Amino acid sequence: MGYISDMNDPDQQRLQAQITARLAELAAEDARGAEAQGVVALDQQMVGRLSRMDALQMQAMAKAQAARRQLETRRLKAALARIAEGEYGYCEDCGEDIALKRLALDPAALKCISCASG
C-alpha cells in the first residue's frame, strides 16, 4: 500500500484539494508581491545611493520570488491536468506508481523516488 494504484477517491480528492489550496496561496502571494516588483523610485529623503541599491536588491529578490511562484504554479496546474486525464501519479520515466507519501510532500512530482534520485 502507499502507491498511486492503491489511491482511492478520498486520496485523490485530498491531493487535488492540496494542489488547489496551494494555487490559491501562490495567487495571493503574487498579489502581495506585485508592488515590490515595480519601478524603484529615487527618494531624495532617503540616505542616497545605498538606499537605492537596497531598493534595487529588494526589487530583484521580489522578481526572483515571483519567477519561483510562476514555476510552482505551472507545475501544480500540470498536476491538475494529469489528474483530469487519469495520468496522475505515474513516473514519467519508468511508468511506475509514485508513492502517496511522495505526492503528499510534492503533489506535482513527476518521477518516482528511484528515477528522481538516479
Convert the pLDDT of each residue in 82-117 to its tens digit: 998 889 999 999 999 999 999 999 999 999 999 999
C-alpha cell at position 109? 512530482
SS3 call for 90 = strand
The pLDDT of 25-53, averaged and rounded, is: 69
Percentage with pLDDT > 90 across the chain: 55
The pLDDT of 22-38, averaged and rounded, is: 81
Residue spans per domain, the chain: 4-117
pLDDT digits (tens, 9 = 90+) for 70-89: 999 999 999 999 998 889 99
Asked if residue 63 has pLDDT above 80, the reply is: yes
Residue 31 burial (CB count, 10 A): 9
SS3 call for 84 = helix
Fold of 4-117: Four Helix Bundle (Hemerythrin (Met), subunit A) (1.20.120)
**Residue at grid coordinates 515595480:** 38
Do residues 94 and 100 lie in contact, with contact meaning Cβ atoms separated by under 8 Å? no
Residue 46 burial (CB count, 10 A): 13
The pLDDT score that the predictor gives to residue 27 is: 93
